[in-house]
């Protein structure tokens, strides 16, 4: 249970004054629905009222604070639409304060004639006079405390004003209870960091532009708290898994030897290393949970297949889950000959299987007449029972998040788990997302791969590119054409892709196909399948081919508005060509002129085909939030930690979490208690549940 002391933070934001249901909905959109979401939303800007010029010197369009004498209130206006005016002055000149829909009694109290007042806001010159409409603040110079010199500005959303949001956040911060310190005092001292509450208050009280940086001591402290919560949660998940012992899976090597002999190539050293890791894990009595990272085309699939054979050799079954139907079919096809050679019985199960066929497959599976089952998420429906499932391989799974891993950690018999991803993830990111898993990386490509020639070409040369596609497809090669991702909106994506589809059909005829994210699964699969079978020469797509099909005849990849894609995404797309032995190319069509970052990014892509290098560069150039993007929502979202700059803090948090797990694995000491609160604070409730009560 969440410690009661945190309850005020987990209240709905409507408990804050000035936040009714309507405002709450807006704030929820900008920051989140609970008080804690507000305290963890750092200011994005700052209003500085410390600039104090004279009336004559005050520039337009900038916030100024003026000390003026109130000379005279004009007679109240006759018409409702006319403003109420007050003439003020200082030694340099006159200023007219202007109020629409004003309440005279209020203005007379706030700005009595003959008195001095501070007014803060923006000046404009209007008909030869200096005026300020609706000052943000009016204060007595004797009581300057009534006007804040600095005000933080928070991310907003349409309909939400800065003042309302600020007032809400200020109250939220004030409601933050003092909490027992969860950080090591020596560490705090070494970093010169303050306590949690002090740091929080400081982070919300910027007084200069520098104070908005994620590198201030206060921001670093909270970012570190967040990273520690993340790493500790992962360490707890990992420990829970170790406790839930797996089984020893040890084959006799006979199927693997047969298969390797039947392979038309030798395994690369990287593949051998990965297999060695995997076999060791499978043989151990602990449960394997391993991430296999490797670029598209690096040869993960055969590694997965051989791993599954080890399970089959030991008399058990294995399953491979692909993200789409067509990929599942491709896996089945690519293994078919090898499986035959080894005498292994493989079957496929997807959403398409219905009724009698499905029933028949399920009973064979339960009887143990299927050794390896390939499929989509349909594999994990409740009524799918294996006789003895020992290994699950999950392919290309970005969305296999911590939550699902916790769920699996809780579930019945515990098969070993191998997760494969073709998205090279920067080290820091993979520590936060997959810190509970062992890692293997395939960093070497199979020999003889021809590099993909990568060129950046401006949109103005579109006709040349279309001519090139015509030439290449006339020789029997195939092309991918990826259409721009516009503000992640399906609708706009679609128009662009459809227009391109029509215009290419005019030039290339009927051998052009279109797939997009709004098509139904079967429709999409049907088009992809036609491309895969060679019936289509050009496949136009929104990014759905990112996890795409393997078409060895595809030698040209065109990416429109390449400047709008993430580097890792571009790299991923490029990996779709160059799979056969022909020379391939990737054309990055861009809209000139390119910004500096866009140019740097396209250059990285031209210079290297190493996905890991590209991933690190992407992180450096764009920051973590963008690298992860919407497509990879399985990644933890950080509120304050920024992996592009807080990498060093992450490493420290990882060590810290390890140490905590050694010294106080059940979080029972007084620091342990405080750390439980930290986990709740950053919504790592899942992990706390893995602890025994106490
Ligand atoms: P990934 O799954 O990592 O994208 P694949 O396993 O699909 O890559 O491999 C891509 C291609 O490379 C396949 O055609 C596969 O048969 C081939 N391949 C895999 N390993 C090797 C190797 N060691 N030597 C030569 N070719 C290989
Ligand atoms: Mg693959």
Ligand closest to the CA atom of residue 302? 1
Inform me whether the pLDDT recorded for 690 exceeds 70: yes
Give me the mean pLDDT over the 541-557 stretch. 74
pLDDT band at 694 (very low <50, low <70, confident <90, very high): very low
Q: What is the pLDDT of residue 39?
A: 97
Nearest CA to ligand 1 atom 23: 267
- Which pLDDT tens digit goes with each residue over 403-422? 555 555 554 567 888 989 88
SS3 category, 581: coil
For residue 680, give every residue at least 6 positions away whose Cβ sits within 8 Å of its Cβ, in sequence order, or none.
Answer: 2, 3, 6, 688
For residue 603, give every residue at least 6 positions away whose Cβ sits within 8 Å of its Cβ, in sequence order, or none.
Answer: none
How many Cβ atoms sit within 10 Å of the Cβ of residue 463?
Answer: 9
CATH of the domain spanning 50-147, picked from 2.170.190.11, 2.115.10.20, 2.40.50.140, 3.30.420.10: 2.40.50.140
If one residue of 294, 299, 305, 329 were mutated to test the ligand 1 pocket, choosing by the most ligand atoms within 8 A of its CB, it would be 299
Ligand closest to the CA atom of residue 576? 1
d(CA 264, CA 261): 8
Give me the mean pLDDT over the 647-675 stretch. 94
pLDDT band at 652 (very low <50, low <70, confident <90, very high): very high
Is CATH 3.10.129.10 the classification given to domain 453-608?
no
Give me the mean pLDDT over the 136-149 stretch. 90
If one residue of 302, 445, 572 were mutated to test the ligand 1 pocket, choosing by the most ligand atoms within 8 A of its CB, it would be 302
pLDDT band at 398 (very low <50, low <70, confident <90, very high): low
Q: What is the pLDDT of residue 380?
A: 77
Inform me whether the pLDDT recorded for 686 exceeds 90: no
Name the residue ranges covered by the structural domains of the chain. Answer: 4-47+153-212, 50-147, 254-442, 453-608
For residue 109, give every residue at least 6 positions away whose Cβ sits within 8 Å of its Cβ, in sequence order, or none.
Answer: none
Q: What is the pLDDT of residue 632?
A: 45
Inform me whether the pLDDT recorded for 115 exceeds 90: yes
pLDDT band at 629 (very low <50, low <70, confident <90, very high): very low
Inform me whether the pLDDT recorded for 331 exceeds 70: yes
Query: In this predicted model, which residue has the larger pLDDT, 289 or 366?
Result: 366
| Closest of 49, 90, 92 to residue 68, by C-alpha | 90
Give me the mean pLDDT over the 525-535 stretch. 88
Q: Mean pLDDT highest for which of 12-21, 538-547, 624-633?
A: 12-21
pLDDT band at 532 (very low <50, low <70, confident <90, very high): confident
Ligand 2 centroid distance, CA of 464 (Å) = 32
Mean confidence (pLDDT) of the chain: 88
Inform me whether the pLDDT recorded for 627 exceeds 70: no
Closest ligand 1 atom to the C-alpha of 550? 7
Q: Do domains 50-147 and 254-442 have the same CATH topology?
A: no
Distance from chain centroid for Cα 605: 21
- Which pLDDT tens digit goes with each residue over 334-352? 899 999 989 999 999 998 8
Ligand 1 centroid distance, CA of 511 (Å) = 28
Q: Which CATH superfamily is domain 254-442 in?
A: P-loop containing nucleotide triphosphate hydrolases (3.40.50.300)
Q: What is the dihedral of CA 186, 191, 197, 203, to 10 degrees?
A: 180
Q: What is the pLDDT of residue 144?
A: 80
Ligand 1 centroid distance, CA of 415 (Å) = 26
Q: What is the pLDDT of residue 49?
A: 94
pLDDT band at 630 (very low <50, low <70, confident <90, very high): very low
Ligand 1 centroid distance, CA of 528 (Å) = 20
Ligand 2 centroid distance, CA of 455 (Å) = 25
Inform me whether the pLDDT recorded for 468 exceeds 80: yes
Report CA-CA distances (Å) from 469 to 51, 134, 465.
61, 62, 6
Nearest CA to ligand 1 atom 15: 299
Ligand 1 pocket, CB under 6 A: 265, 267-268, 271, 294, 296-302, 422, 446
Closest ligand 1 atom to the C-alpha of 552? 14
Ligand 1 centroid distance, CA of 300 (Å) = 7
């Amino acid at each position: 249970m969440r410690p009661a002391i945190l309850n005020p933070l987990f209240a709905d934001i409507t408990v804050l004054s000035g936040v009714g249901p309507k405002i709450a909905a807006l704030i929820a959109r900008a920051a989140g629905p609970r008080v804690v979401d507000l305290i963890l939303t750092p200011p994005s800007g700052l209003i500085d009222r410390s600039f104090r010029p004279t009336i004559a010197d005050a520039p337009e369009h900038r916030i100024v604070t003026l000390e003026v004498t109130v000379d005279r209130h004009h007679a109240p206006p006759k018409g409702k639409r006319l403003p109420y005016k007050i003439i003020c002055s200082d030694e340099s000149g006159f200023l007219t304060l202007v109020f629409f829909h004003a309440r005279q009694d209020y203005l007379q109290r706030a700005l009595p004639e003959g008195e001095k007042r501070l007014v803060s806001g923006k000046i404009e010159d209007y008909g030869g006079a200096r005026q300020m409409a609706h000052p943000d603040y009016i204060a007595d110079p004797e009581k300057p405390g009534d006007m804040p010199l600095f005000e933080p500005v928070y991310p907003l959303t349409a309909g939400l004003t800065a003042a309302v949001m600020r007032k809400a956040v200020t109250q939220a911060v004030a409601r933050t209870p003092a909490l027992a310190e969860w950080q090591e005092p020596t560490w705090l001292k070494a970093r010169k960091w303050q306590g949690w509450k002090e740091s929080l208050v400081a982070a919300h009280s910027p007084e200069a532009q520098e104070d908005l940086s994620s590198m201030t001591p206060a921001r670093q402290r909270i970012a570190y708290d967040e990273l520690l919560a993340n790493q500790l949660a992962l360490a707890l998940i990992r420990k829970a898994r170790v406790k839930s012992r797996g089984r020893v899976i040890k084959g006799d090597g006979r199927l693997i030897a047969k298969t390797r002999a039947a392979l038309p190539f030798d395994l690369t050293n990287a593949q051998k290393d990965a297999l060695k890791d995997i076999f060791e894990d499978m043989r151990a009595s602990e449960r394997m949970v391993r991430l296999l990272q490797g670029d598209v085309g690096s040869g993960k699939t055969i590694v997965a297949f051989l791993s599954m054979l080890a399970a089959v050799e030991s008399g058990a079954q294995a399953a491979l889950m692909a993200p789409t139907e067509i990929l599942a079919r491709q896996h089945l096809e690519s293994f078919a000959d090898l499986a035959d050679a080894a005498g292994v019985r493989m079957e496929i199960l997807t959403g398409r299987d219905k009724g009698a066929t499905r029933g028949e497959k399920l009973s064979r599976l339960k009887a143990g007449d299927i050794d390896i089952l390939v499929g989509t998420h349909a594999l994990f429906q409740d009524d799918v029972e294996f006789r003895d499932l020992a290994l699950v391989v999950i392919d290309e799974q970005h969305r296999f998040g911590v939550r699902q891993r916790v769920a699996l950690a809780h579930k019945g018999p515990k098969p070993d788990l191998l997760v494969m991803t073709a998205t090279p993830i920067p080290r820091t990111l993979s520590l936060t997302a997959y810190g509970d898993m062992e890692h293997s990386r395939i960093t070497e490509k199979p020999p003889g791969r021809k590099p993909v020639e990568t060129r950046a070409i401006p949109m103005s040369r579109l006709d040349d590119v279309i001519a090139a596609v015509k030439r290449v497809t006339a020789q029997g090669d195939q092309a991918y054409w990826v259409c721009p991702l516009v503000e992640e909106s399906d609708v706009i994506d679609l128009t662009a892709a459809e227009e391109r589809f029509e215009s290419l059909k005019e030039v290339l005829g009927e051998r052009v196909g279109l797939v997009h994210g709004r098509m139904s699964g079967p429709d999409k699969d049907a088009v992809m399948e036609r491309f895969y079978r060679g019936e289509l020469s050009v496949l136009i797509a929104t990014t759905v081919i990112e996890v795409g099909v393997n078409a060895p005849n595809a030698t040209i990849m065109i990416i429109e508005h390449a400047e709008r894609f993430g580097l890792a995404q571009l790299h991923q797309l490029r990996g779709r060509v160059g799979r056969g032995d022909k020379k391939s190319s990737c054309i990055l069509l861009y809209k000139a002129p390119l910004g500096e970052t866009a140019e740097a990014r396209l250059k990285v892509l031209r210079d290297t085909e190493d996905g890991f290098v590209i991933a690190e560069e992407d992180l450096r150039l764009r920051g973590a939030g963008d690298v992860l993007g919407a497509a990879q929502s399985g990644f933890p979202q950080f509120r304050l930690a920024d992996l592009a700059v807080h990498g060093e803090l992450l490493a420290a948090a990882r060590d810290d979490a390890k140490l905590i797990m050694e010294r106080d694995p059940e979080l029972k000491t007084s620091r342990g208690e405080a750390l439980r609160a930290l986990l709740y604070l950053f919504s790592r409730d899942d992990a706390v549940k893995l602890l025994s009560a106490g």
